[in-house]
Amino acid sequence: MTEDTLSVANDHAAAIDARSGEVSRERIVIIRRPWVIWAAAVTVYVLAVFHRTSLGVAGLQAGERFHLGPTALSVFTVLQIGVYAVMQVPTGLLVDRFGPRAVLTVAAVLMGAGQILFAVATSYPLALAARAVLGVGDAMTFVSVLRLVAAHFPAARYSLVALLTAALGAGGNLVATLPLTGLLGTVGWTTTFALTGALTAGYALVVLLRVRDVPHGQPVERSSGPLRAVPATVRGTWRVPGTRLGFWVHFTTMFAPTVLGLLWGFPYLVEAQGLSKTAASSVLGVLVLTTVVGSPVIGQLITRNPHHRIPMVVGYLGIAAVTWAVLLGWPGGHLPVPVLTVAFSVLAFGGPMSGIGFALARDYNPMHRVGTATGVVNQGGFLAITVSAFAIGVLLQASGSYRVALLSVVVLLLLGSWRCLVWWRRARAEVFAAESRGEQVPVRIHRTRFDAPVPACA
């Protein structure tokens, strides 16, 4: 072989190596890009949870600043939950029409503006208006992030990434505790909330630069048509058995731990169980830690075994019913702290389980309608939270007994469990019907005696 031939061969080999290196780098970029987009988007959701739970840390200062009693102070929480619940379907429609990047950008601006207004507010009505603005921005985040997950990740990984999103949101709850308490103690109310608000509003620029609605090169699937067609879109989404099943799964699994964590858990532990404030805070902390740890675990399980999703929900609901029987039926009423801790840990798994509802919305709806379906599902849980929080307060006021008041939680749990079973059966019937037509189905299942024919209307 001549020197010229060797030189050509070496150049050719070098070119192949360079091309292989470029391909490898391009593959790494392609693999990383969805995670980069998700990280930029999920930060908005973490900020939303941070702002949502900030009043839990600043509750005493808020009472002093606005001269409020406990009832007036609780209106902040009820208002924010109500705004969140009402905004879920409109948010889904906005995401499907304008894309998640635009909605997340507006959400960051609204949360920042609401928190800045809260910083300078000196009257109760203005403070309520500020929390309402913040609540609107908060309500627009989670559905938007899940819509991005549906677009950028394979369907098989949707549940895992969705539950990782929820786990990081729970982390935002933890972040709101120590740093915010330190800031309030050092720089004061106005500077603390103005600073966090300004940083959140400024993050909207990061969303614009980093987030993309769909992977590079793919067409954007968006809902179109006149606004008068919106009610028909919502009705069509609601009629899908998988959407209805997701609604009731979310309704039934996530409301109890959330109501305990946001409003009634602390008073129950202190007033009904006789715990110190420190011990009560520790037991409540279990709700957050279980969510953070349990979400990835549940996500992995349902990603590997999607046909086990609803059996897992049914199993959880049965265990939750037994747990409430222990909490409300314990002789003497006062439970040992280890029993309370285990009970709250069990109930906390409702948060990760609720993510199954979003997986159902993703699987049973076309991509251009996933945002709307996700909003419908998310509304289920927050509707249950609003109803149960109000019912507990009314029954507690009337009876003076937490046992009587918390029975409302059991009633909603039983109602939701019944509806889950009904719509599970109907969703399975839809899957079997689609298979018989030769259509692709989200999950392959086997017919059982449970799958008897279901009437068209019920």
Kindly state whether residues 306 and 183 are assigned to the same domain. Answer: no
CATH code at position 300: 1.20.1250.20
What is residue 457's predicted lDDT score, i.e. its pLDDT?
Answer: 41
User: Could you tell me if 110 and 140 are in contact, meaning their C-beta atoms sit under 8 angstroms apart?
Assistant: yes
Model confidence over 244-264: pLDDT tens digits? Answer: 999 999 999 989 998 887 778
CA distances to 139, 164, 243, 329 from 39, rounded to whole Å, are: 19, 11, 27, 44
Kindly state whether residues 207 and 270 are assigned to the same domain. Answer: no
- Provide, for the chain, the percentages of residues in helix, strand and coil under a 3-state DSSP scheme, each rounded to the nearest 5: 85, 0, 15
Kindly state whether residues 354 and 265 are assigned to the same domain. Answer: yes
CA distances to 22, 276, 279, 316, 330 from 283, rounded to whole Å, are: 53, 11, 6, 20, 18
User: Is 448 inside a domain boundary?
Assistant: no
What is residue 350's predicted lDDT score, i.e. its pLDDT?
Answer: 92
Mean pLDDT of 186-209: 92
CA distances to 61, 185, 203 from 190, rounded to whole Å, are: 11, 12, 20
Model confidence over 133-184: pLDDT tens digits? Answer: 999 999 999 889 988 998 888 877 888 888 888 888 877 666 666 677 778 8
Kindly state whether residues 256 and 177 are assigned to the same domain. Answer: no
Model confidence over 401-441: pLDDT tens digits? Answer: 889 999 999 999 999 999 999 999 888 888 788 777 776 76
Query: What is the chain's Cα-based Rg?
Result: 24
User: Is 392 inside a domain boundary?
Assistant: yes
Look at residues 178, 213, 248 and tell me which one is the last residue of a structural domain.
213
SS3 at position 375: helix
Kindly state whether residues 31 and 68 are assigned to the same domain. Answer: yes
Whether 12 has a pLDDT exceeding 70, the answer reads no
Band of pLDDT at residue 455, cut at 50, 70 and 90: very low
Band of pLDDT at residue 3, cut at 50, 70 and 90: low
Whether 123 has a pLDDT exceeding 60, the answer reads yes
Kindly state whether residues 257 and 396 are assigned to the same domain. Answer: yes
* Calpha distance 144→164 (Å, rounded): 15
User: Is 444 inside a domain boundary?
Assistant: no
To which residue do tokens 């001269």 refer? 67
What is residue 229's predicted lDDT score, i.e. its pLDDT?
Answer: 63
Kindly state whether residues 283 and 199 are assigned to the same domain. Answer: no
Write out 163-209 in H/E/C secondary structure.
Answer: HHHHHHHHHHHHHCCHHHHHHHHHCCHHHHHHHHHHHHHHCHHHHHH
Neighbours of 240 (CB within 10 A): 20
* Numbers of helices and strands, H then E, in the chain: 18, 0
Q: Which domain holds residue 290?
A: 230-438
What is residue 114's predicted lDDT score, i.e. its pLDDT?
Answer: 95
Query: Both tokens of residue 186?
Result: 């050092």
To which residue do tokens 């801790």 refer? 341
Whether 454 has a pLDDT exceeding 60, the answer reads no
Whether 13 has a pLDDT exceeding 60, the answer reads no
**What is the total count of domains within the chain?**
2
Band of pLDDT at residue 113, cut at 50, 70 and 90: very high
Band of pLDDT at residue 186, cut at 50, 70 and 90: confident
- For the four alpha carbons of 78, 80, 86 and 88, in that order, the dihedral sign comes to negative
Model confidence over 230-240: pLDDT tens digits? Answer: 677 778 888 88
CA 415 to centroid of chain Cα atoms: 22
User: Is 221 inside a domain boundary?
Assistant: no
* Calpha distance 4→227 (Å, rounded): 71
The residue ranking higher by pLDDT, 124 or 53, is 124
Kindly state whether residues 183 and 259 are assigned to the same domain. Answer: no
Kindly state whether residues 62 and 134 are assigned to the same domain. Answer: yes
Q: What percent of the chain has pLDDT over 70?
A: 84
User: Is 340 inside a domain boundary?
Assistant: yes
Look at residues 213, 248, 273 and tell me which one is the last residue of a structural domain.
213
Kindly state whether residues 167 and 303 are assigned to the same domain. Answer: no
Band of pLDDT at residue 31, cut at 50, 70 and 90: low
User: Is 7 inside a domain boundary?
Assistant: no
Kindly state whether residues 310 and 238 are assigned to the same domain. Answer: yes
User: Is 247 inside a domain boundary?
Assistant: yes
What is residue 410's predicted lDDT score, i.e. its pLDDT?
Answer: 95
To which residue do tokens 């509806």 refer? 419
How is 85-112 classified by DSSP, letter by letter? HHHHHHHHHHHHHH-HHHHHHHHHHHHH
User: Could you tell me if 212 and 149 are in contact, meaning their C-beta atoms sit under 8 angstroms apart?
Assistant: no
Model confidence over 310-362: pLDDT tens digits? Answer: 999 999 999 999 999 999 998 887 899 999 999 999 999 998 899 899 888 88
What is residue 222's predicted lDDT score, i.e. its pLDDT?
Answer: 59
Mean pLDDT of 82-93: 86
Whether 45 has a pLDDT exceeding 90, the answer reads yes
Kindly state whether residues 161 and 292 are assigned to the same domain. Answer: no
User: Is 454 inside a domain boundary?
Assistant: no
Model confidence over 218-231: pLDDT tens digits? Answer: 766 656 556 566 67
* Calpha distance 346→324 (Å, rounded): 10
Q: What percent of the chain has pLDDT over 90?
A: 32
Name, in order, each residue with C-beta under 8 angstroms of 69's C-beta and a sequence gap of 6 or more: 63
Mean pLDDT of the chain: 83
Model confidence over 286-317: pLDDT tens digits? Answer: 888 888 888 888 888 887 888 888 999 999 99
Band of pLDDT at residue 24, cut at 50, 70 and 90: low
Look at residues 155, 180, 213 and tell me which one is the last residue of a structural domain.
213
Band of pLDDT at residue 15, cut at 50, 70 and 90: low
